[in-house]
């Protein structure tokens, strides 16, 4: 998928599927790749919208990998389910228990909904403040770390090769 945007002959060191921003099937799929010269992100939406972005590794100023706290997940789940249970208990204790059991059964779905919109991610700032950002599902955080390591290794190799070519031309 990335090769259509890259110059001929530029190989991809690492590429990963990073998850969906939004709900599965209607959200935007997120991909990222590292080549010897650039870090690239690609988002593909439901109706075929494509957003490609890359930045030259030698111009990367800084990078960050973000993973939200689990506290937000817990609070979201409580506020999404607790009012229904309390309302059920106010009507009749049996109704409250049934609603509580249903909300507990739906808790994994509630957590998935939260993480569909509160994403982890990797950000690289490339010269002049341009941000290259890739959304990542929390469960795919290991891939973000792999991409980050591949990016820093490729950046160091790129800077070394540019340094050698500049010194040779002097």
**Residue 45: how many CA atoms within 13 Å on its side-chain side?**
5
- The reply to whether 54 and 125 lie within a common domain is yes
Ordered DSSP codes for 92-109: -HHHHHHHHHHHHHTHHH
Tens digit of each residue's pLDDT (9 = 90 or more) over 90-126: 888 888 788 888 888 877 777 777 776 776 777 777 8
**The residue to which tokens 């990073």 are assigned:** 18
Count of structural domains, the chain: 2
What does the pLDDT read at residue 165?
Answer: 54
- The reply to whether 102 and 131 lie within a common domain is no
Question: Which phi and psi (to 5°) does residue 95 adopt?
Answer: -65, -40
Question: Which phi and psi (to 5°) does residue 49 adopt?
Answer: -65, 135
Distance from C-alpha of 38 to C-alpha of 34, rounded to nearest angstrom: 6
Q: Kindly report the average pLDDT of the chain as a whole number.
A: 80
- The reply to whether 56 and 124 lie within a common domain is yes
**Residue 59 reports pLDDT greater than 80:** yes
- The CA distances from residue 57 to 22, 138, 155, 157, in Å, are 29, 25, 5, 10
What does the pLDDT read at residue 168?
Answer: 47
**Range 30-49 average pLDDT:** 87
Burial 4-37 (b: 16+ CB within 10 A, else e): eebeeeeebebbbebbbbeeeeebbbbbbbbbeb
Distance from C-alpha of 6 to C-alpha of 68, rounded to nearest angstrom: 32
- The reply to whether 25 and 97 lie within a common domain is no
Distance from C-alpha of 97 to C-alpha of 65, rounded to nearest angstrom: 41
Domain with 36, as residue range(s), is 2-67+120-169
- The reply to whether 13 and 24 lie within a common domain is yes
Does this model's pTM top 0.85? My answer is no
- The reply to whether 140 and 158 lie within a common domain is yes
- The reply to whether 108 and 148 lie within a common domain is no
């Amino acid at each position: 998928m990335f090769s259509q945007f890259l110059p001929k002959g530029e190989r991809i060191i690492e590429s990963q599927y990073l998850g969906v921003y939004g709900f599965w099937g209607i959200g935007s799929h997120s991909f990222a790749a590292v080549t010897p010269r650039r870090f690239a992100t690609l988002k593909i939406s439901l109706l075929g919208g494509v957003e490609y972005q890359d930045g030259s590794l030698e111009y990367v100023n800084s990078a960050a990998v973000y993973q939200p706290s689990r506290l937000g997940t817990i609070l979201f789940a409580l506020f999404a389910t607790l009012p229904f249970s309390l309302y059920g208990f106010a009507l009749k204790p049996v109704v409250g228990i049934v609603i509580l059991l249903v909300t507990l059964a739906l808790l994994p779905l509630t957590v998935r909904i939260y993480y569909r919109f509160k994403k982890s991610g990797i950000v690289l700032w490339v010269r002049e403040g341009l941000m290259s950002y890739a959304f990542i599902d929390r469960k795919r955080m290991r891939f973000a770390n792999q991409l980050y390591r591949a990016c820093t290794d490729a950046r160091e190799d790129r800077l070394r090769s540019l340094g050698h070519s500049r010194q040779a031309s002097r």
